[in-house]
Amino acid sequence: MAQEVRGVIAPGKNEPVRVETIVVPDPGPGEAVVKIQACGVCHTDLHYKQGGINDDFPFLLGHEAAGVVESVGAGVTDVAPGDFVILNWRAVCGQCRACLRGRPWYCFDTHNAKQKMTLKDGTELSPALGIGAFAEKTLVAAGQCTKVDPSVSPAVAGLLGCGVMAGIGAAINTGNVGRGDTVAVIGCGGVGDAAIAGSRLAGAAKIIAVDIDDRKLTTAEKLGATHTVNSRTTDPVEAIRDLTGGFGADVVIEAVGRPETYQQAFYARDLAGTVVLVGVPTPDMKLELPLIDVFGRGGALKSSWYGDCLPSRDFPMLIDLHLQGRLDLGAFVSETITLDDIEAAFERMHHGDVLRSVVEF
């Protein structure tokens, strides 16, 4: 029997979000219904509301979530009712060209639930990133549920479902940061700070945090930055070179998503170094670089979607490291709020007042 729960929708472009009754169908084959315990507020939710992702309104927002599986549909064997899970937006298909080549973290045909959640009048909802977890319960593909140690706090666990995983993965998966590397991270919001925490975890010798906001640099130091640069007042390329013997960093992670900061990242890396772009640009942005510098500096220019994560490999491992005290995921939770506070949380996020606001149920 379909159930009715409370959830937060974006009804139309730039309209305020609204708490509505959401109809959640019973799980069909390959699907699961998850009782949400916590869900973080991410920039992508705001982009959906602003019409920046697509026009498939109304959206059921929320996608950085953890909860308990309530029921599963036919053929589901990997998760069972009662399992504590983090929701992911990379339920790999196992069949596409990336999966068949043994690189499922690039999967080009990820799974979502086939059935639609609706409003009471039958209007179909588009769940944000195929998740829609600003709701007491949500319907997803079973592969979107990744089991982790249930002793972790749900507010902390949910954040791994998107931005924090993107940042950690940009460092450890895409950038391949290793023991002794020098790393610079440009932009120290939730994603950049996670890249800093990931770099520390990977054994980076020097981690240089760059931001235009001193408040962000203070938090970055708590998460593992060994040096900080305010790029409003100091040229970040020169500062990073000065801190690395005049050469530049082995890995530079761009976590803003703008041409000027990408250019800084490009020139702040050592010869044969790696640039990782994890910040998301807008479609109008253009980059101009001398091609001779692209060639002459060697190395790798990479982008990182969702931190090149494989949820089944990375989520349980990172939760275990957190529980052992080796990765401070708790530092990313700035405040916990209720479903009724999301509009205000968008505002605080926009002003840079929080790393993450997390809705608790």
The residues, ordered by sequence, that sit 6+ positions from 357 with a Cβ below 8 Å of its Cβ are 40, 41, 334, 335, 336, 337, 341, 345, 348, 349
| Max Cα distance, the chain (Å) | 66
Q: Long-range CB contacts (< 8 A, 24+ apart) of 12-19?
A: 12/57, 12/58, 13/49, 13/50, 13/51, 13/55, 13/57, 14/49, 14/50, 14/51, 15/49, 16/343, 17/49, 17/61, 17/342, 17/343, 17/346, 19/339, 19/340
Q: Which does 304 bind (CB under 5 to 8 A by kind): Zn ion, ligand APR, none?
A: none
State which residue has the least CB distance to ligand APR: 189
> Which residue number, 20 or 64, has a Cβ lying nearer to ligand APR?
64
SS3 155: helix
Read off φ and ψ for residue 146, nearest 5 degrees: -115, 120
Which window, 108-116, 144-152, 215-223, 320-328, contacts Zn ion (CB under 5 A)?
A: 108-116
The full length of the chain comes to: 361
User: Of Zn ion, ligand APR, none, which one sits near residue 162, judging by CB under 5 to 8 A according to partner kind?
Assistant: Zn ion
Q: Return the number of the residue (163 or 224) whose C-beta is nearest ligand APR.
A: 163
Taking CB under 5 A as the rule, which mask of x and - marks residues 5-44 in contact with Zn ion? Answer: -------------------------------------x-x
Token digits of residue 212: 């235009």
Q: Where are the alpha helices (DSSP H) in 162-235?
A: 163-169, 190-201, 214-223
Kindly write out the interface string for residues 251-270 of this chain, putting x where it contacts ligand APR by CB under 6 A and - elsewhere.
----xxxx--x---------
Q: Interface residues for ligand APR in 216-255 (CB under 6 A)?
A: 216, 231, 255
**Is residue 188 involved in binding ligand APR (CB under 6 A)?**
yes
- Binding at 187: pick from Zn ion, ligand APR, none (beta carbon under 5-8 Å per type): ligand APR
* Residue 93 binds which entry of Zn ion, ligand APR, none, CB below 5-8 Å type-dependent: Zn ion
Q: Which is nearer to Zn ion, 97 or 232 (CB)?
A: 97
Task: Give the tokens for residue 72.
Answer: 């599963």
Provide the residue type at 235 as one letter.
D
Binding site partner of 99, from Zn ion, ligand APR, none, Cβ cut-off 5-8 A by kind = Zn ion
Residues in touch with Zn ion (CB under 5 A): 42, 44, 93, 96, 99, 107, 109, 162-163
